[in-house]
């Protein structure tokens, strides 16, 4: 049998004493019962809301029995319940009118795994939400202002018989188009990007190193950097260094052959 910790026993005893001392005067003196809930009773309900509901009630009742109506239900319950139940049993003792009893004490760790160290946490509101809101506003402002000054391209109507020179894919596929100059289309267009995606998906299952500290995972970081740089460099070359016939050009000498 689990021992009940001393502080819980103390708390239960204190609650019992408080309930007993409240039940006794409630039956004799009504004004005392009225004062109790208004003063130190349920602190969760803000004062202005209590005021509002009391005003609404008194308006409904014609204002005649305003003080009686305002008297807490606790008093009524105590008076009504006292007749049937044995005195001393706390009625409507809890904040929501519940009667709570200590049934058992479950030691931490027996059912739930309680973390040994409590984490350092902050409230999402305001700390995180404000950052997110500002970030969203910033990106919205950036997109809007950029769109005011830079127009999206709209070239002449599509014509199947007029192939522009060079014909380029969207920028994020220009790495693939660059590969097309070196490999067979199946390798450049399907195999290599397919492998790239597949390796990305496999990353968490291949990388068994549990640490997330940069100094512990130099190999993983270098590999990923090489991978990302591979695509970034190919996209750059495809975007800026390829001109008519998809031949190599220098943008500062031959101009830019690139549309977003």
Partner 1 sequence: MAKTMQGSPAQRAQEALTNLNNNVQGSQAWSSIFRPGSIFRKGYSDSPRNRSYVIMNSVLYHLHPVKVKRHAVKVSYTLCLGGLSFFLFILLTVTGIFLMFFYRPTAVNAWTDIYTLQTSVTFGLLVRNMHRWGAHLMVLSVFLHMARVFYHGAYKPPREFNWVIGVILLVLTLLLSFTGYLLPWDQLALWAVTVGTNMMGYTPVLGGQVRYVLLGGAEIGTDTLLRWYVLHVLFFPFIIVIFMAIHFWRVRKDGGISGPL
Residues 66-95 touching partner 1, rule: CB under 8 A, are none
Write the DSSP symbol of residue 242.
B
Which of 24, 224, 234, 236: binder of partner 1 (CB under 8 A)? 224
Q: Are 112 and 122 in contact (CB under 8 A)?
A: no
Which of 207, 222, 247, 250: binder of partner 1 (CB under 8 A)? 207
Three-class SS string for 185-222?
HHHHHHHHHHHHHHHHHHHHHHCCCCCCCHHHCHHHHH
Give, as ranges, the residues between 231 and 260 that touch partner 1 (CB under 8 A): 259-260
Using the rule CB under 8 A, give the single segment among 7-15, 19-27, 105-113, 212-220 that binds partner 1: 212-220
Give, as ranges, the residues between 110 and 139 that touch partner 1 (CB under 8 A): 119-129, 131-132, 135-136, 139
Q: Are 204 and 217 in contact (CB under 8 A)?
A: no
Give 16 or 217: the residue with its C-beta nearer to partner 1.
Answer: 217
Q: Are 27 and 78 in contact (CB under 8 A)?
A: yes
Stretch (H or E) spanning 127: none
Q: Is 211 in the site for partner 1 (CB under 8 A)?
A: yes
Return the exposure string of 117-143: e unless at least 16 CB atoms fall within 10 Å of the residue's CB, then b: eeeeeeeeeeeeeeeeeeeeeeeeeee
Q: Is 162 in the site for partner 1 (CB under 8 A)?
A: yes
Using the rule CB under 8 A, give the single segment among 15-23, 57-65, 77-85, 150-158 that binds partner 1: 150-158
Which of 64, 83, 84, 154: binder of partner 1 (CB under 8 A)? 154
Which of 48, 98, 218, 253: binder of partner 1 (CB under 8 A)? 48
């Amino acid at each position: 049998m689990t021992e009940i910790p001393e502080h819980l026993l103390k708390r239960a005893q204190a609650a019992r004493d408080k309930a007993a001392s409240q039940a006794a005067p409630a039956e004799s003196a009504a004004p005392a019962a009225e004062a109790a809930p208004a003063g130190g009773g349920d602190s969760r309900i803000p004062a202005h809301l209590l005021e509002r509901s009391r005003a609404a009630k008194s308006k409904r009742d014609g204002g005649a029995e305003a003080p009686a109506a305002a008297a807490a239900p606790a008093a009524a319950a105590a008076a009504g319940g006292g007749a049937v139940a044995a005195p001393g049993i706390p009625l409507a003792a809890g904040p929501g009118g519940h009667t709570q009893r200590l049934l058992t004490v479950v030691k931490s760790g027996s059912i739930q795994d309680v973390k040994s160290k409590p984490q350092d946490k902050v409230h999402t509101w305001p700390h995180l939400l404000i950052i997110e809101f500002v970030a969203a506003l910033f990106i919205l402002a950036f997109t809007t202002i950029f769109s005011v000054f830079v127009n999206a391209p709209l070239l002449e109507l599509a014509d199947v018989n007029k192939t522009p020179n060079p014909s380029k894919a969207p920028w994020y596929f220009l790495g693939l188009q660059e590969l097309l100059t070196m490999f067979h289309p199946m390798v450049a267009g399907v195999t290599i990007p397919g492998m790239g995606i597949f390796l990305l998906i496999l990353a968490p299952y291949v990388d068994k190193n549990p640490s997330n500290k940069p100094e512990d995972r130099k190999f993983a970081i270098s590999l990923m950097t090489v991978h990302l740089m591979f695509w970034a460099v190919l996209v750059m070359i495809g975007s800026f260094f390829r001109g008519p016939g998809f031949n190599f050009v220098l943008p500062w000498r031959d101009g830019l052959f690139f549309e977003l």
